[in-house]
Chain A
Amino acid sequence: AQSVTQLDSHVSVSEGTPVLLRCNYSSSYSPSLFWYVQHPNKGLQLLLKYTSAATLVKGINGFEAEFKKSETSFHLTKPSAHMSDAAEYFCVVRGYSSASKIIFGSGTRLSIRP
């Protein structure tokens, strides 16, 4: 069975400071992990994905995430927040094959203070 937990429902940071959105997963086999972002009134957009290659994954808009098997974590980071990063972020786990079910975390809403 697979599951994913996003530890914070809401994160607020100042513009220009680092962003950390936390995600822990549970999977009985090697998972694929994704981060999606949803801006208001827009569809979910893929930020980055981990599929058993490099453990440090770089995505769009300066975001990156590190797969840590020992900690079962896949936290999303960005060195310097921008106002346009304000959105809801979802951590997603899936089995290796896309025929496997995709499981969403509950989402983290990121607010950026000027």
Chain B
Amino acid sequence: EAGVTQFPSHSVIEKGQTVTLRCDPISGHDNLYWYRRVMGKEIKFLLHFVKESKQDESGMPNNRFLAERTGGTYSTLKVQPAELEDSGVYFCASSQSRIQGEQFFGPGTRLTVL
């Protein structure tokens, strides 16, 4: 069974440009999460989808970030326009069960904004 996949693995863009990160969860997992680790800081929660609906987006830093999950399958996280402080590693995770469900993580996308 394939795990959580993320694309691209690494993205380098200039300040002001737009970047879209993609996450494909494990098939059948209704819950999808986005996290971010800024250099030298903790991994922070960004948001949580249940199927195609946003369950909790309290961790989204500002309105330059837009997450979607079309049809309840894969998800995208768009940053527009990117700023220097957006650099970091963006992780996606998915889980099957809402109760005590283990979250399976992808390898992350390393975003560098120059």
Chain B residue nearest to A99 in the complex (CB): B98
Q: Are the C-beta atoms of B97 and A104 separated by less than 8 Å?
A: no
* Contact present for B91 and A44 (CB under 8 Å): yes
Contact B108 A46 (CB under 8 A): no
Say whether, besides A90-B43, A102-B45, A104-B44, A51 and B105 are in contact (CB < 8 Å). Answer: no
Q: Which of B78-103 contact A (CB under 8 A)?
A: 91, 93, 95, 97-103
A-contact bits for B54-67, CB 8 A (1 contact / 0 none): 01101100000000
For the complex, give the distance between the alpha carbons of A41 and B44 in Å.
Answer: 19
Q: Is the C-beta of B4 less than 8 angstroms from some C-beta in chain A?
A: yes
Q: Tell me, yes or no, whether B72 is within 8 Å of chain A by CB.
A: no
Contact B107 A97, beta carbon cutoff 8 Å: no
Residue of A44, A96, A103, A104 touching B100 (CB-CB under 8 A):
A96
Most buried by B among A41, A97, A98, A101: A98
- Contact between B105 and A107, CB atoms less than 8 A apart: no
B98 and A43 within 8 A (CB)? no
A-side contacts of B33, CB under 8 Å: 102
Known contacts A98-B95, A104-B43, A106-B42; decide if A43 and B100 are in contact (CB<8 Å). no
List the count of A-B residue pairs having beta carbons below 8 Å apart. 54
* CB-CB under 8 A for A102 and B42, given A43-B3, A43-B108, A44-B91: no
In Å, the complex CA distance between A51 and B101 comes to 10
Assess the B56–A98 pair: CB atoms within 8 A.
no
Residue among A41, A99, A105, A107 with most chain B CB within 10 A: A99
Contacts of B102 in A (CB 8 A): 46, 49
| Interfacial chain A residues near B56, Cβ < 8 Å | 99, 101
Q: Which of A90, A99, A105 contacts B55 (CB 8 A)?
A: A99
Nearest-Cβ distance from residue B62 to partner chain A, whole angstroms? 19
- With A98-B101, A107-B43 given, name 13 new contacts (CB 8 A): A42-B107, A44-B91, A44-B93, A90-B43, A97-B98, A97-B99, A98-B31, A98-B97, A98-B98, A99-B98, A101-B45, A101-B58, A102-B33
